[in-house]
Chain A
Amino acid sequence: MAVLSEQLVKPNLLATSRSSKLPFDQMFRLASFSSALVVLVVLAGIIGSMFYGGWPAFREFGFGFITSSVWNVGQDQYGAWVAIVGTLTSALIALVIGVPISLGIAIFLTQLSPPWLKRPVATTIELLAAVPSIIYGMWGLFVFAPLFARFVQVPVTSLVEGIPFFGTILYARVPSGVGVLTAGIILAIMIIPFVASITRDILDQIPSMLRESAYGIGCTTWEVVRHVLLPQAGVSIIGAIMLGLGRALGETMAVTFVIGNANRLSLSLFDPGSTIASRIANEFNEAIGMQLNALLALGCILFLVTFAVLVLARLLIARVKLT
């Protein structure tokens, strides 16, 4: 460091040192460019090999692979529909539950929390993000599911029985505690740390002048949050939610433990289902032949679903920016 500043103050040396630094600068560009390239190459490689592996299944079943809900390994008949529906449903439940809580956490931490509470809450959330997903799965299966069955499924089922709509979607034929809704709740817990901490950072970056002026003209806390902070942060918050959604769509281990793993479509959220990732986790180990191809094709579809969701998010952001 001392050498560097000495060079800086000697103008005659500066030129030579700059020119000798140029190759380094080029190397630096090259290095960072290739780092970016690595991501693209890896992604292309993954998509390519999965599509190559899944191709026999696409060729054999055609478009029916997506729309068929049969998954029969014994007879080598495969269809992805149940898994696609399960993936989207559980991720949607996770967002519906997780996003309001995450926003609540972020707003509390940035606007309302007494300073002494900020750090403990923020640290807890970061710790939640570091818990491995198998722990969530085991906890969900052994601790959460029995409690959920006893205190939610059984009472809710007896409450809604016979009522149209709710009597269907919240009816537990077998109150076992696991199912699509349980998977959604566990996923919500898993995405909260991500969405909450990114949203908190976004809210923190809003110039405090804006907030203070709003309070200055007599706004209530609700008005400040609703009319000043959220419009400012809107686009970035959607980005944070999409990150959470991406995690929810692809989460494997935790979901496998609590979704019940049945290849059946059901209108009830309490019934077991399966997701694309859980199906792959369950069967990949011993899969051979067409089953392996079908699982790789499932992986391709998960890519497409995630991609479609990201595109939708971009469109949404573009719309928000326009208005």
Chain B
Amino acid sequence: MKYLPFALAAGLAVASLGAPATAAEITGAGATFPFPVYSKWAEAYKKETGTSLNYQSIGSGGGIKQILAKTVDFGATDAPMKGEDLEKNGLLQFPTVMGAVVPVINVQGIEPGKLKLTGSVLADIFQAKITKWNDAKIAQLNPDLKLPDANITPIYRSDSSGTTSVFTTYLSQVSETWKSGLGAGTTINWPAGQGGKGNEGVAAAVKQVPNAIGYVEYAYAKQNNIPFALIQNQAGKYPQPDNKSFQAAAANANWSSAPGFGISLTNQPGDEAWPITNPTFILVHKTTDKPEQTAEVLKFFDWAYQNGDQLATDLDYVPLPDNVVGQIQAAWAKDIKNSSGQPVYKK
């Protein structure tokens, strides 16, 4: 007992000795969706430069709160922040990588990638307006398929998630009844079906429930070989969900149409564009109290744009097209300044 104070003091001394003295560390918090690719990038970046990244995937909402409170060097969010909010809080927003959402199905006798759906049919299914697989509206799109006379069970994300937000943003764009009824958001008041927690929960439910349909991140569906369905894009075509069709959606998009590149890549024009594609975003303060930290953040993402494409593709994320990266770098150089008004980013 009487050695306790000594033990405590010794412990403290050891702890303070162990604290890193020089190596730079950048901290970030936010979206869970890009967490795997950010940690891969961080690992490679640390090997090359010695600068480490401490990223906490606490969810987009948490990331926004943390960057507003300035407890982190950058925040990360899946759903873009609105222009006026960026303006009000003095934040700069830029995209890093893209992902996509695919509908996954479990219908006997239908092979992966064979079922064709339009956005409005998808909306009707999740609104429980279409309840049978052999409904005339689905049959009309799939004349070659033998559709069962079975009830459809919609499976949704029960936890609030960016995936739901992207999916319902798309449904709001293509269906008036969806827009005025359930709307877009991270949590929806689903009228029918069953909820699973996380991509894994939705995927498990779809696998277990015959005649179910759900939606998951493309990367998750691909890595787990879950049968998916095709969706008609704006040009009336049915592209395969893959890197090519996601890149096509990004290439055709007009990124400067929204402040902070805050466009949604859903329902983009182009024959090859996958209709439910989404970028994920980073938030930093425009006028920074800690210019050297912000400079490190920009350096890290600069490095990732130049060297991180392969790592991202390995994890089934989609790198941004080069012209978008150029626009982002221009925005960094123009907008991010230290307290005396000097630009922080140097190419």
**Chain A residues with a Cβ under 8 A of chain B:** 70-75, 141-142, 145-146, 149, 173-178, 256-257, 260-263, 272, 274, 278, 281-283, 285-288, 291
Question: When the two chains form their complex, are residues B61 and A142 in contact, meaning their CB atoms are under 8 A apart?
Answer: no
Bound complex: CA A285 to CA B201 (Å): 17
Q: Which of B60, B183, B204 contacts A141 (CB 8 A)?
A: B204
**Mask for B181-220, Cβ within 8 A of A = 1, else 0?**
0110111111001111100010011001100100000000
Kindly specify which of B110-118, B157-165, B323-331 makes contact with the partner chain.
B157-165
Are A263 and B189 neighbours in the complex by a CB distance under 8 Å?
yes
Q: Is A72 touching B208 in the complex (CB atoms < 8 A)? A: no
Binary interface encoding of chain B residues 137-176 relative to chain A, with 1 for a CB under 8 A from any of its CBs, else 0? 0000000000000010100001111000000000000000
**B62: interface (CB < 8 Å):** yes
Query: Do the beta carbons of A272 and B159 come within 8 Å of each other?
Result: no
CA distance A145 to B158 in the complex (A): 17
Q: How far is the CB of A130 from chain B (nearest CB, A)?
A: 23
**Is the beta-carbon distance between B189 and A71 smaller than 8 angstroms?**
yes
Chain B residues contacting A260 (CB-CB under 8 Å) are 194-195
Nearest Cβ distance between residue A181 and chain B, in whole angstroms? 14
Query: In whole Å, how far is B192's beta carbon from the nearest beta carbon of chain A?
Result: 9
Q: Do B59 and A74 touch (CB < 8 A)?
A: no
Given contacts A74-B183, A146-B208, contact A141 B201 (CB under 8 A): yes
Q: Which residues of B contact A257 (CB under 8 A)?
A: 197, 201
Q: How far apart are the CA atoms of A4 and B60 in the complex, in Å?
A: 62
Q: How far is the CA of A71 from the CA of B151 in the complex (A)?
A: 25
Contact, CB under 8 Å: B158 / A261: yes
Q: How far is the CA of A287 from the CA of B59 in the complex (A)?
A: 10
A282→B197 contact, CB < 8 A? yes
> Nearest chain-B residue to A272 (Cβ)?
B194
CB of B214, distance to nearest CB on chain A (Å)? 11
Q: CB of B58 within 8 A of chain A?
A: yes
Contact status of A282 and B208, CB under 8 A, knowing A72-B189, A260-B195, A263-B189: no
Q: How many chain-B residues does the 8 Å CB contact rule pick out?
A: 30
User: Which of A261, A281, A282 is the one whose CB lies under 8 Å from B194?
Assistant: A261
Contacts of A146 in B (CB 8 A): 208
* Inter-subunit contact B208/A73 (CB<8 Å): no
Max chain A Cβ within 10 angstroms of own Cβ: one of B58, B151, B161, B205: B205
Residues of B within 8 A of A141 (CB): 201, 204
For A286, the chain B residues whose CB sits under 8 A away are: 59-62, 160-161, 186-187
Bound CA span A21–B201, Å: 61
Considering the complex, give the chain B residue whose CB is closest to the CB of A278: B158
20 A-B pairs whose Cβ atoms sit less than 8 Å apart in the complex: A70-B189, A73-B160, A73-B185, A74-B185, A146-B208, A174-B151, A175-B209, A178-B205, A256-B158, A260-B195, A261-B195, A261-B197, A263-B190, A282-B159, A282-B160, A283-B187, A285-B58, A286-B160, A286-B161, A287-B160
B-to-A contact residues, CB < 8 Å: 58-62, 151, 153, 158-161, 182-183, 185-190, 193-197, 201, 204-205, 208-209, 212
Residue in A174, A175, A274 whose Cβ sees the most chain B Cβ within 10 Å: A174
- A256: B residues at CB distance < 8 A: 158, 197
Q: Which of A70, A74, A149, A262 contacts B193 (CB 8 A)?
A: A262
A283 x B183 contact (CB < 8 A): no
A229–chain B nearest beta-carbon distance, Å: 42
Query: Most A CB atoms within 10 A — which of B58, B201, B208?
Result: B208
A145 to B207, CA, bound (A): 11
Instruction: Let me know if A178 and B187 touch, CB within 8 A.
Output: no
Contact A74 B189 (CB under 8 A): yes
Q: Contact partner of B153 among A176, A177, A263, A285, CB < 8 A? A: A176
Docked complex Cα distance between A287 and B58 (Å)? 12
A148, chain B: closest CB distance, angstroms: 10
Distance of A286 Cα from B186 Cα, bound (Å): 8
In the assembled complex, the CB of A208 is this many whole angstroms from the nearest CB of chain B, namely 39
Contact A142 B204 (CB under 8 A): yes
Interchain CA distance A116-B188 in the complex, whole Å: 56
Chain A residues near B212 (CB-CB < 8 A) = 176
Known: A71-B189, A176-B194, A262-B193. A285 touches B160 (CB 8 A): yes
Contacts of A283 in B (CB 8 A): 159-160, 187
Q: How far is the CB of B122 from chain A (nearest CB, A)?
A: 18
Contact of A285 among B61, B188, B189, B195 (CB under 8 A): B61
| Chain B residue contacts of A142, Cβ below 8 A | 204
In angstroms, how far is the closest chain B Cβ from the Cβ of A88?
20
Closest to A263 in B: B189
User: Of the candidates A73, A174, A175, which one forms a contact with B188 in the assembled complex, judged by CB atoms under 8 Å apart?
Assistant: A73
The complex places the Cα of A278 from the Cα of B201 at a distance, in Å, of 14
Closest 8 CB pairs of A and B: A261-B195, A261-B158, A286-B160, A285-B59, A72-B189, A286-B61, A73-B187, A74-B183
